[in-house]
Amino acid sequence: MAALFPRVFDIAPASARRLRTVVALLFLASAPARAAEPAELKIGVLRQPQPRETISILETPAEDETLAGAELGADDNNTTGVFSNQKFTPIDAVAQPEDDIVQTVARLADRGVRLVIADLPADRLLAAADAGKARGMVFINSAAPDDSLREQNCRANVFHAAPTRSMLTDALAQYLVWKQWRRWLLIKGSHPRDDALAAAYRASAKKFGAKIVEERTFADAGGGRRSDTGVAQVQRQMPGLTQNAPAYDVLVTADESDVFAAYLPYRTWDPRPVAGSAGLRPLSWSPAHEQWGATQLQNRFYRLFKRPLRARDAQAWMAMRMIGEAATRTQSVDPKKISDYLAAPEFEIAAFKGQKLTIRSWNLQLRQPILLSDGRTIVSVSPQEGFLHQTSTLDTLGFDKPETKCKLR
Amino acid sequence: MQVALIRALCVAALLPLLGGQAFAVSAYVTNEKGNSITILDVDRMEAIKTFPVGKRPRGIALSPDGARLYVCTSDDDVIQVYDTASLALLGRIATSDPEQIVLSPDGARIYVANEDDNLISIFDAQTRKSIAEVPVGVEPEGVAVSPDGKTIVATSETTNMAHFIDAAARKIVGNVLVGARPRFAQFKPDGSELWVSSEVGGAVAVIDPVQKKLIAKVGFEIPGLTKEQAQPVGIRMTADGKTAFIALGPANRVAVVDTATKKVERYLLVGQRVWQLALTPGDKYLLAVNGLTNDVSIIDVTARKVLKSVQVGALPWGVAVAPK
């Protein structure tokens, strides 16, 4: 496969295995469904590979992260497509950090792709969206959590399947407040995205009545995260990092860069629970999630890819399902009709989260419950009971309409 | 009214003398987490026995004569077959992740939704052998059979369709798009309408099974609750076809719907997360299974009143009522 589609194009069709499934299903389909050639929709999967260095070896990103989720979504769409006579083909497009994103987008457009699932950092997503605008391309952000993409830098041709930092931090804050753990010690990393996450925690604390008793920074001194004897050193470092803190209930960590937070549970000076980037984490999806039929999705993913379904893949699955749902409802594979339907008030989708997910019309963000997981189980799901809202309790998570800085264009 | 009450009391007083068991109406409730079935004596409104079955029992059905009990033990990938008189396990039918199960009106065929494999499996009830597998949409859950036995309907939760299957040809003959996450399908007793509940969509679609077209929608507005909380699942209709009961999941209510106007006449408060329902013979009682409160609400159909809740096992899911 790799030889047929050389690296220089960075674009390859979805694996043959998935196509075989589709063909098999088409073969099995009843006579009325087989009457005509299915209408095909190509969906770009534009992704920048994640750094492979994580604190936990268990969280090393897979080579096909995001693509695998999109492929499962296309599989699901294609099973439905047997009955609606539609076919969904993911087109993988890897953009390395050094690649010119504008050119990658142009190549996708040349192949007839108008709908793109994007797993890119915020600045590159904006560059891609602006480059694709002239060619009528619409993007679904499946990874970037930046609130700015939904606020001052929002775009009329960018939907967001991934939750924002503010949605994630609000989800955790609601639970901590419900637990009456209102005094937080906040420790953040030293990278810009850690600052952004810490700012989101500050805003969440204020919004829900928690108090950050002190804020500390863990400076990333660089170097590798994996070593044979690192644990002994970490055991001596972490108590020091958390020593002499004012009285607090819970240690909240803002470490999106994955440099230190995972070292904190069981190593704090005072015996306190850890939450945020380690311990109890707010996530759009977890391999531990099994409520509301989620087991079926977990099983389908595992069967195809032999690994657990994590948030990044689940968000790409979600983006692909959004496209499929719009295509089924509009009975069309016209990208314009599909994106119009996604932005319309009728759009709603089930995603194993216990309630329908809809789009915030003012910034094209997908509303969604957030899971709180300790890594092995789902501890709770936010929004928490008692946090009320006049239109949707899901809008208690993240920036709400009256606060928005987004002007869609 | 007074006379009816006195008569009911007299009958109740006589029951023990008549030797109970033979006259009692039994209901079988699967306990998803308890890995067991609880048997209720509906007339005495008591749980009389709980016995262990396979792992994660969900869908449950009785043969038309009440002699055989079929239980989907989902995590065992098996349908267990029990003798209702002795509760002896008669056999197992291997089938992947079975969830809901129905029998053809003559009891000869078993129809099962295999949620993980996007299939409807058809078995011969006598030989317990597979007859056919029909591919449907993603995550089939609801299965229903038309009163004449000629049409099987499967609802697929992620494809969001009601698939019409010709029972003789074992082929799909039509698909109707419905609201998000359709979980249950129920024909009107005269076969003139098919009702499909969409749990996440929050409405029930009424479909003309001949034209295979949506003809009406039943919506829910419950004072004091958000619209997201009304998540319809189980549907049952009285034999005269005039009244439908719809379980509303986390709204903790059963809606009473006039099938002519498609309007909700009343909401009956039951236990938490009510999913499946069953009517007792003569439409005397409606049983509503409340998953999170581990109980079954017994509802007087005529009075439209919740009479009692009976504790069963852990996380009760499905219910089947013996014909008599």
pLDDT of residue A36: 82
Which pLDDT band, with edges at 50, 70 and 90, does B119 fall under? very high
Residues A368-406 have pLDDT tens digits of: 999 999 999 999 999 999 898 988 999 999 999 999 999
CA-closest candidate to residue B324, choices B288, B279, B277: B279
Task: For residues A347 and A322, give the distance between their C-alpha atoms in angstroms, rounded to a whole number.
Answer: 9
According to DSSP, the residues that pair with B81 across neighbouring strands are: B70, B91
Substitution target in A30, A88, A298, A366 with the highest count of B β-carbons within 10 Å is A30
The answer to whether B11 faces chain A, any CB pair under 8 Å, is: no
Token couple for A194: 């850690």
CATH class of A11-163+286-368: alpha beta
Token couple for A222: 């660089």
**B163 contacts in chain A (CB < 8 Å):** 83
pLDDT of residue A49: 94
Residues B9-25 have pLDDT tens digits of: 444 444 444 434 445 78
Residue contact B201–A356, C-beta within 8 A: yes
Domain boundaries defined on chain A: 11-163+286-368, 166-283
Residues A147-171 have pLDDT tens digits of: 999 999 999 999 999 999 999 999 9
Distance from CA of residue A85 to its chain's centroid? 29
- Give the DSSP H/E element, type plus range, for residue A40: strand A39-47
Cβ neighbourhood burial of B178 (10 Å; 0-12, 13-18, 19+): buried
Distances (CA, A) of A387 to A207, A250, B182, B224, B251: 11, 21, 29, 15, 17
Residue contact B137–A325, C-beta within 8 A: no
pLDDT of residue A234: 83
Shortest CB distance from B228 goes to which of A82, A299, A356?
A: A356
pLDDT of residue B323: 82
pLDDT of residue B100: 95
What letter would DSSP give residue A164? P
Task: For residues B34 and B23, give the distance between their C-alpha atoms in angstroms, rounded to a whole number.
Answer: 28
Distances (CA, A) of A396 to A134, A254, A361: 35, 21, 16
Mean pLDDT for the stretch of residues A218-245: 80
Give chain B's mean pLDDT. 93
CB atoms within 10 A of CB B9: 10
pLDDT of residue B25: 87
CATH topology agreement for domains A11-163+286-368 and A166-283? yes
The answer to whether B78 faces chain A, any CB pair under 8 Å, is: no
What letter represents residue B78's amino acid? Answer: V
The answer to whether B200 faces chain A, any CB pair under 8 Å, is: yes
Higher-scoring residue by pLDDT: B17, B78: B78
Q: Which residues of A touch B (CB under 8 A)?
A: 25, 28-33, 76, 79-80, 82-84, 293, 296, 299-300, 321, 325, 328-329, 348-350, 354-356, 392-393
Location of structure tokens 């409104």: B45
Residue contact A355–B228, C-beta within 8 A: yes
What letter would DSSP give residue A6? -
**B151 contacts in chain A (CB < 8 Å):** none
Give chain A's mean pLDDT. 91
Residues B85-100 have pLDDT tens digits of: 999 999 999 999 999 9
ipTM attached to this prediction: 0.81
Residues B128-165 have pLDDT tens digits of: 999 999 999 999 999 999 999 999 999 999 999 999 99
Location of structure tokens 């089938």: B95
**A82 contacts in chain B (CB < 8 Å):** 135, 137
Q: Helix/strand/coil (H, E, C) string of A374-402? A: CCCCEEEEECCCCCCCCCCHHHHCCCCHH
pLDDT of residue B13: 46
**B118 contacts in chain A (CB < 8 Å):** 79
What letter would DSSP give residue A4? T
CB atoms within 10 A of CB A264: 25
According to DSSP, the residues that pair with B277 across neighbouring strands are: B288
Q: Helix/strand/coil (H, E, C) string of chain B? A: CHHHHHHHHHHHHHHHHHCHHHHCCEEEEEECCCCEEEEEECCCCEEEEEEECCCCEEEEEECCCCCEEEEEEHHHCEEEEEECCCCCEEEEEECCCEEEEEECCCCCEEEEEECCCCEEEEEECCCCCEEEEEECCCCEEEEEECCCCCEEEEEECCCCEEEEEECCCCEEEEEEECCCCEEEEEECCCCCCEEEEECCCCEEEEEECCCCEEEEEEECCCCCCCHHHCCCCCEEECCCCCEEEEECECCCEEEEEECCCCEEEEEEECCCCEEEEEECHHHCEEEEEECCCCEEEEEECCCCEEEEEEECCCCEEEEEECCC
Distance from CA of residue A191 to its chain's centroid? 20
pLDDT of residue A93: 98
| Model confidence at A28: pLDDT above 60 | no
Residue contact A83–B202, C-beta within 8 A: no
pLDDT above 90 as % of chain A: 82
Shortest CB distance from B180 goes to which of A300, A354, A356?
A: A356
| Model confidence at A13: pLDDT above 70 | no
Task: For residues A241 and B91, give the distance between their C-alpha atoms in angstroms, rounded to a whole number.
Answer: 62
Which pLDDT band, with edges at 50, 70 and 90, does A11 fall under? very low
The answer to whether B177 faces chain A, any CB pair under 8 Å, is: yes
Residue contact A76–B138, C-beta within 8 A: yes
| Model confidence at A27: pLDDT above 70 | no
| Model confidence at A17: pLDDT above 60 | no
pLDDT of residue A227: 60
- Give the DSSP H/E element, type plus range, for residue A91: strand A86-94
Which pLDDT band, with edges at 50, 70 and 90, does B285 fall under? very high
Rg from Cα positions in chain B: 19
Peptide bond before residue A383 is cis, with ω within 30 degrees of 0: yes
* Minimal-distance CA residue of chain B relative to A297: B116
* Minimal-distance CA residue of chain A relative to B170: A30
pLDDT of residue A115: 98
pLDDT of residue B11: 45
Substitution target in B117, B138, B184 with the highest count of A β-carbons within 10 Å is B138
Token couple for B64: 């038309």
Is there a contact between A71 and A316 (Cβ–Cβ < 8 Å)? no
Which pLDDT band, with edges at 50, 70 and 90, does B226 fall under? confident
Mean pLDDT for the stretch of residues B212-218: 97
Instruction: Please state the length of chain B.
Output: 324
What letter would DSSP give residue A364? T
pLDDT above 90 as % of chain B: 90
**B157 contacts in chain A (CB < 8 Å):** 293, 296, 350
Token couple for B143: 């299965």
pLDDT of residue A231: 66
pLDDT of residue A225: 65
Q: At what angle do helices A294-305 and A67-84 cross, to 10 degrees?
A: 110
Residue contact A30–B158, C-beta within 8 A: no
Residues A311-322 have pLDDT tens digits of: 999 999 999 999
According to DSSP, the residues that pair with B254 across neighbouring strands are: B247, B268
CB neighbours of B307 closer than 8 A, spacing ≥ 6? B45, B285, B298, B299, B300
| Model confidence at B266: pLDDT above 90 | yes
Q: Which of A49-53, A121-125, A185-189, A375-379 has the lowest mean pLDDT?
A: A49-53
Domain spanning A166-283 has what CATH number?
A: 3.40.50.2300
Residue contact A348–B200, C-beta within 8 A: yes
Is there a contact between A394 and A369 (Cβ–Cβ < 8 Å)? yes
Distances (CA, A) of B240 to B61, B188, B191, B194, B229: 22, 9, 12, 15, 30
pLDDT of residue B24: 78
Q: Which of A145-159, B221-235, B292-306 has the lowest mean pLDDT?
A: B221-235
Cβ neighbourhood burial of A267 (10 Å; 0-12, 13-18, 19+): middle
pLDDT of residue A289: 98
The answer to whether B226 faces chain A, any CB pair under 8 Å, is: yes
pLDDT of residue A167: 98
Distances (CA, A) of B272 to A137, A142, B300: 46, 35, 19
| Model confidence at B4: pLDDT above 70 | no
CB atoms within 10 A of CB A224: 7
Which pLDDT band, with edges at 50, 70 and 90, does A270 fall under? very high
Q: Which of A30-34, A270-274, B52-56, B278-282 has the lowest mean pLDDT?
A: A30-34
Task: For residues B301 and B305, give the distance between their C-alpha atoms in angstroms, rounded to a whole number.
Answer: 7
